[in-house]
Amino acid sequence: MEKITDKFLRYISVDTQSDPDSDTQPSSRKQLDLLKMLRDELSAMGIDATLDEYGYVMASIPSNCGKDVPAVGFIAHVDTSPDASGTGIKPQIIRDYDGGDIELRGVPGLSLKTSDFPELAEYKGQTIITTDGTTLLGADDKAGVAEIMSMAEYIVNHPEFRHGPVMIGFTPDEEIGRGVVKFDVAGFGAEYAYTMDGGKIGELEYENFNAASATVHIQGRNIHPGYAKGKMLNAILIGMEMNSLLPVEQRPEYTDGYEGFFHITDFKGTVEEASFSYIIRDHDIDLYEKRKKMIKDCVDFINTKYGEGVATVEIRHQYYNMKKEVEPHYHIIEKAVKAMEMEGITPIIRPIRGGTDGANLSFMGLPCPNIFAGGHNFHGKLEFVPVESMEKATKVILNIISLFAE
């Protein structure tokens, strides 16, 4: 069998950054480069695999256990975040990690410091893959992709392994909240599924944020600064003022656990006009609705102060908390817990401070909790993943399949 490291390095070499400004599905054509590769690799294993017009790879492995057991699916997304470049990734492989700071050689002075990331100590003696500091790594979620592909290869090469029907799904555009907009749940054919899209080893999640995005536009009035008194409306300053109306302590860098937040992700502007973007998150549905209202109230305040129409906002819902859809099927959580314990992993059950394709899939009739893929520091140049965590994740997938076949 091919080593999971080789799979992972091959997949991250393909630039698959999704594009939030695109209206197409998938949002960037380059995602299809990896999706076609995965379809072809599955087909080469003898697994029935398809790629549809929307960028969904679906594959199925027939049961060999001789029992009527539920079909279980495993899903990962191929796109990487728009927050950092995914072009020309140059990974660093640190074998037998010594527990110290890791220099990211592509950017002088940039390093993964143990003082900033004390969790590095947990991986002393292991093999860690990092970026060189010029791009993200793509472990979110190509670690999950590699783990699912390793599972598929194992099953094909070990016919003695007993299993029920196993479904495989790879999706585009998860990072921009559109990963399963056109996903054919009935066609996928699984009764239950798991996304392999979590963080550190042991993570198991079936609660996530309710999520929305907000885009605010400020229409200013540019007047020559020498004659601007009483006339100029500086869109940059008005936008800054509106942002200051939101509670500082409810920014992501000050929140944890079940605490929600407002996060400004982008600001572009001139004196004449400016636009800026937020993501809005909360686990509690009532607080989520209040957060959306607070953004609208801030816009109303700006318009009251500076004139109607100076500020406008578009709020777009992204996904809901999957808890109420997954909890009635709690046995799938129990199976994941047991599957981890079989590998000596202590499960870490906690809410996702983010979202996965599984959140929307759960509301589409496919209960779909989230399991660790092993990576850390997603969406940025300090991303890393321990190889041993990916290997363990593959074993957890195989254990879940075995448990469903009992």
Look at residue 306 in the predicted model and tell me its pLDDT: 97
Is it true that 4-208+321-404 and 210-319 share their CATH fold? no
Domain boundaries, the chain: 4-208+321-404, 210-319
Look at residue 352 in the predicted model and tell me its pLDDT: 85
CB atoms within 10 A of CB 267: 14
Look at residue 354 in the predicted model and tell me its pLDDT: 78
* Residue pointed to by tokens 């409810």: 250
Q: Report how far apart, in Å, the C-alpha atoms of 83 and of each of 18, 143, 375 are.
A: 10, 18, 17
Nearest to 45 by CA among 168, 192, 191, 139: 168
Phi, psi of 73 (to 5 degrees): -115, 155
* Residue pointed to by tokens 């200013």: 220
Pairing assessment for the beta strands 384-386 and 128-130 based on DSSP bridges: antiparallel
| Beta carbons of 211 and 280 less than 8 angstroms apart | yes
- DSSP assignment letter at 227: G
Look at residue 285 in the predicted model and tell me its pLDDT: 94
Which residues of the chain carry a pLDDT beneath 70? none
Tell whether domain 4-208+321-404 is in CATH 1.10.10.10.
Answer: no
Q: Report how far apart, in Å, the C-alpha atoms of 305 and of each of 7, 10, 168, 193, 298 are.
A: 57, 55, 54, 51, 11
Q: What share of the chain is helix, strand, coil (3-state, %, to 5)?
A: 35, 25, 45
Look at residue 57 in the predicted model and tell me its pLDDT: 98
The CATH architecture of the domain made up of 210-319 is 2-Layer Sandwich (3.30)
The residues, ordered by sequence, that sit 6+ positions from 224 with a Cβ below 8 Å of its Cβ are: none
- Which contiguous run of DSSP H or E holds residue 140? helix 139-157
CB atoms within 10 A of CB 171: 28
Look at residue 356 in the predicted model and tell me its pLDDT: 80
CA gap 30, 42 in Å, rounded: 19
Look at residue 177 in the predicted model and tell me its pLDDT: 83
* Residues with catalytic roles: 79, 174
CA gap 213, 114 in Å, rounded: 33
Q: Report how far apart, in Å, the C-alpha atoms of 302 and of each of 17, 267, 308 are.
A: 35, 17, 8
The helix/strand count (H/E) of the chain reads as: 10, 17
CB atoms within 10 A of CB 379: 16
Look at residue 331 in the predicted model and tell me its pLDDT: 97
The residues, ordered by sequence, that sit 6+ positions from 194 with a Cβ below 8 Å of its Cβ are: 72, 73, 74, 75, 332, 336, 358, 368, 369, 370, 371, 397, 400
CA gap 312, 331 in Å, rounded: 46
SS (H, E, C) 78-137: CCECCCCCCCCCCCEEECCCCCCCEECCCCCCCEECCCCCHHHHHHCCCCEEECCCCCCC
Nearest to 74 by CA among 399, 375, 368: 368
